[in-house]
């Protein structure tokens, strides 16, 4: 086992597992989840684990602890962790895959916080630069960019959406000013997991990348305007990119 | 629609929906999820919605926004939100259902924090006292207690478990000292959602209760020692308690 590919939903984990199976010449109807699927769904296809982590940092953090302990027990050598998902874009065309260089917290710092026994601890959130470079070189015709990722603990409130339950406490122009400020800081997309994933992998010394496609440009609005077919195409782009990376590593004899 | 009953996993949402169906005299094989189940699973049985919220506050917070907007569109009158789940106990017998009176953050304050546009906001986390009183009166033979709930953003690190990936940065006696301090503050269990649920419902003026059963007593260790059968029995206790409450409301003509 060499590559751990993660995404939010069980459906995405299965979709990617089937893509891998077809690529490796297996019958994709034989792709079955390992173990219990009450909390997470895990598939193993050749040297790749495809697994769901749920929504947000708390759900992800349990998976990271438990899966990494399993890999250590299984004596897996030098695994690489890659998260694929969707995100809101900032100043990039919808459908762009953003490779995260560094994750930025809601407090606008590249820091993940955990409070243990009442004491807050701070962890850096850099992603693995040479892994990003390797993946970026394989982008081929896909729209791929590198940038920072704003990583929040809520989808509506902390991402300043105007279509949550509560009326926003800010004007549209204040929101746009803030989004432009994020852009100036080098942020190109917004999601909900990379802050903890990067911090965990730095601590555990595991190379890690986050490749999330953008579904909209938040500088232009809060609603996704792409059609169902476009969204499916967008969603597949991070899979295609990471599949190219995995194939290139296998062909270059990294296995 | 009157009662929204939530739990972490899709499986729990279905189990509770089937329990309701049998209680209301429906064929429980006809209990089907509404809509897409990629992120959450939602069932409607009579006046009750049984829905999964995933693990942790970020996942829960998306559900709360989207479901509450739906209920408002559907002109639901005076809904009550109830979370049922499992938890780690502090100083109570495993199998005790804890009704949360107030939720306590990892920073040891009854406060939920959100950072919007770089500015941190603070929300109170009281649960609905008279709802707790009504539920408590229906405990019958079940072991039920009221107490504060320590609500964290991770299962391993912030809950001071010694069996995560990283070696804990504290000794066992420091951990026990901290858990005893929580007990002295009135905390009786630990979970990962009540902090945001209580804050959201206070803001939205929705009565809310959290009834989580404890699977172990953290003052005695980090490992669950109950058998599979005992755990199933424990897990059903919050369902039984909340079912009693819903039946009593229906019988008293609250519908």
How close A76 comes to chain B (CA, Å)? Answer: 15
pLDDT of residue A172 exceeding 70, the answer is yes
Are the Cβ atoms of B59 and A56 closer than 8 angstroms? yes
For residue A11 the two structure tokens come to 């459906």
Lowest mean pLDDT among B130-139, B158-167, B193-202: B158-167
pLDDT of residue A248: 95
Residue B254 has pLDDT above 70, yes or no: no
Q: Which residues of A touch B59 (CB under 8 A)?
A: 54-56, 58-59
* A111 strand-pairing partners: A124
For residue B1, the model assigns a pLDDT of: 63
Interface test mutation site (partner B, options A79, A116, A202, max chain B beta carbons within 10 A): A116
The pLDDT score that the predictor gives to residue B113 is: 98
Q: Both tokens of residue A62?
A: 């349990």
Closest approach of A211 to chain B, Cα-based (Å): 20
What chain A residue is nearest to B59 in terms of C-alpha separation?
Answer: A55
Give every CB contact of residue A40 below 8 A, 6+ residues apart in sequence: A10, A51, A52, A53, A54, A63
Report the residue from A72, A115, A158 with minimal CB separation from B106: A115
The pLDDT of B206-221, averaged and rounded, is 97
Condensed to tens digits (0 to 9), the pLDDT of residues A81-107 reads: 999 999 999 999 999 999 999 999 999
Q: pTM of the full predicted structure?
A: 0.96
How high is the pLDDT of residue B253? 77
Q: Per residue in B43-101, pLDDT tens?
A: 999 999 999 999 999 999 999 999 999 999 999 999 999 999 999 999 999 999 999 99
In this structure, are strands A48-52 and A3-7 parallel, antiparallel, or unpaired?
Answer: parallel
pLDDT band with cut points at 50, 70 and 90 for residue A1: low
Of B62, B157, B165, nearest to A116 by CB-CB distance is: B157
Distance from the Cα of residue B175 to its chain's centroid? 24
Q: How far is B16 from chain A (nearest CA, A)?
A: 15
pLDDT, residue A44, reads 94
- How far is A57 from A221, CA to CA, in rounded Å? 25
Nearest residue of B to residue A71, measured between CA atoms: B165
C-alpha span between A22 and A30 (Å, rounded): 11
Query: pLDDT tens digit string along B116-128?
Result: 999 999 999 999 9
Identify all chain A residues contacting B185, using CB atoms and an 8 Å cutoff: none
B203 contacts A38? CB cut-off 8 A: no
| pLDDT tens sequence across A7-20 | 999 999 999 999 99
DSSP character at residue A216: E
**Number of CB pairs, chain A paired with chain B, less than 8 A apart:** 145
Tokens 């062909």 -> residue: A251
* Proportion of chain A above pLDDT 70, given as a percent: 99
Q: Which residue of A has its CA nearest to B8?
A: A39
Please report the pLDDT score of residue A144 as a whole number: 98
The set of residues, in sequence order, having a beta carbon less than 8 Å from that of A184 and lying 6+ positions away, is none
B20-35 pLDDT tens trace = 999 999 998 889 889 8
pLDDT of res. A254: 57
CA A45, B164, B120 angle in degrees (round to 5)? 100
Q: How far is residue B82 from each of residues B1, B6, B210, B232, B234, measured CA to CA in Å?
A: 13, 6, 6, 20, 18
Helices marked H in chain A — which ranges?
Answer: 10-23, 57-73, 129-136, 172-184, 194-204, 228-251
CB contact under 8 Å between B170 and A58, yes or no, is no
pLDDT digits (tens, 9 = 90+) for A47-88: 999 999 999 999 999 999 999 999 999 999 999 999 999 999
Residue A1's nearest CA partner among A56, A50, A59, A46 is A46
Between B228-251 and B129-137, two packed helices, what is the crossing angle to 10 degrees?
110
Chain B nearest C-alpha distance from A147 (Å): 19
In the predicted model, is pLDDT for residue B255 greater than 70? no
Band (A32; pLDDT cuts 50, 70, 90): confident
Locate A98 and state its tokens.
Answer: 């953003």
Q: Which two tokens stand for residue A118?
A: 């009442």
CA distance A127 to A144: 16
How confident is the model at residue A107, as a pLDDT? Answer: 98
Chain A nearest C-alpha distance from B180 (Å): 11
Q: Which of A111-115, B183-187, B239-243, B251-255 has the lowest mean pLDDT?
A: B251-255
The answer to whether residues A113 and A122 touch, using CB atoms and an 8 Å cutoff, is yes
Mutation for A interface: B88, B113, B151, B153, most A CBs within 10 A:
B153
Give the closest-approach CA distance of A251 to chain B in angstroms. Answer: 32
Task: From chain B, pick out residues whose CB is under 8 angstroms from the CB of A150.
Answer: none
Contact between B61 and A156 using a beta-carbon 8 Å cutoff: yes
> In the block, which residue shows the tokens 């969204």?
A231
- The rounded distance, in Å, linking the Cα atoms of B161 and B164 is 6
Total residues belonging to chain B:
255
Cβ contacts (< 8 Å) between B14 and chain A: which residues? Answer: none
Phi then psi for A238, rounded to 5 degrees? -65, -35
B58 near B51, Cβ under 8 Å? no
Give CA–CA dist B165/A79, Å, rounded. Answer: 15
Residue B150, number of CB atoms within 10 A of its CB = 28
Residue A146 reports pLDDT greater than 80? yes
Asked if B57 and A62 come within 8 Å (Cβ–Cβ), the reply is: no
Q: What is the DSSP letter of A218?
A: G
Structure token digits, residue A7: 């995404």
**Entry field: residues in chain A:** 255
In 3-state terms, what secondary structure has residue A4? strand
CATH dotted code for B2-251:
3.40.50.1580
Q: How far apart are CA A58 and CA A92, in angstroms?
A: 28
Among candidates B75, B82, B88, which has minimal Cα distance to B198? B82
Closest Cα in chain B to A161: B116
CA angle A145, A132, A237 (to 5 degrees): 55
- Contact list in B for residue A174 (CB cut-off 8 A) is 117
* Nearest C-alpha neighbor of B17 from the set B38, B48, B39, B55: B48
> Rounded mean pLDDT of chain B?
95
Q: How far apart are CA B193 and CA B150, in angstroms?
A: 10
Question: So what's the pLDDT on residue A28?
Answer: 86
Determine the residue of chain B that is closest to A204 in CA distance.
B166
H helices of chain B, in order, are 10-23, 57-73, 129-137, 172-184, 194-204, 228-251
Q: How confident is the model at residue A236 (pLDDT cuts 50, 70, 90)?
A: very high
Enter the tokens of residue B81: 């939100």
Considering chain A, what is the average pLDDT of its residues? 95
Chain B residues with CB under 8 Å of A157 CB are 61, 114, 116
Q: Which of A115, A160, A169 is the closest to B107 by Cβ?
A: A115
The reported pLDDT for the residue numbered B32 is: 87
Backbone angles phi, psi at A232, to 5 degrees: -65, -40
């Amino acid at each position: 086992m060499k590559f751990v590919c993660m995404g939010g939903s069980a459906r995405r984990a299965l979709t990617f597992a089937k893509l891998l199976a077809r690529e490796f010449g297996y019958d994709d109807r034989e792709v079955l989840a390992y173990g219990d699927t009450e909390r997470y769904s895990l598939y193993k296809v050749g040297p790749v684990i495809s697994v769901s982590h749920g929504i947000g940092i708390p759900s992800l953090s349990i998976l990271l602890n438990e899966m990494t302990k399993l890999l250590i027990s299984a004596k897996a050598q030098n695994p690489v962790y890659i998260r694929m998902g969707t995100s809101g874009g900032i100043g990039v065309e919808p459908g762009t895959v953003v490779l995260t260089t560094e994750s930025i917290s809601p407090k606008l710092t590249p820091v993940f916080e955990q409070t243990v026994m009442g004491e807050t601890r701070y962890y850096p959130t850099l992603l693995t630069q040479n892994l990003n470079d390797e993946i970026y070189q394989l982008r081929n015709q896909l729209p791929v960019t590198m940038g920072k990722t704003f990583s929040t603990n809520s989808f509506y409130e902390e991402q300043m959406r105007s279509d949550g339950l509560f009326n926003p406490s800010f004007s549209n122009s204040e929101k746009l000013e803030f989004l432009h400020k994020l852009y100036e800081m080098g942020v190109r997309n917004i999601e909900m997991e990379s802050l903890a994933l990067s911090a965990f992998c730095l601590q555990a010394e595991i190379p890690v990348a986050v490749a999330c496609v953008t579904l909209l440009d938040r500088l232009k609005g809060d609603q996704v305007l792409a059609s169902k077919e476009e969204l499916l195409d967008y969603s597949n782009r991070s899979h295609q990119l990471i599949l190219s990376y995995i194939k290139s590593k296998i062909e270059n004899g990294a296995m």
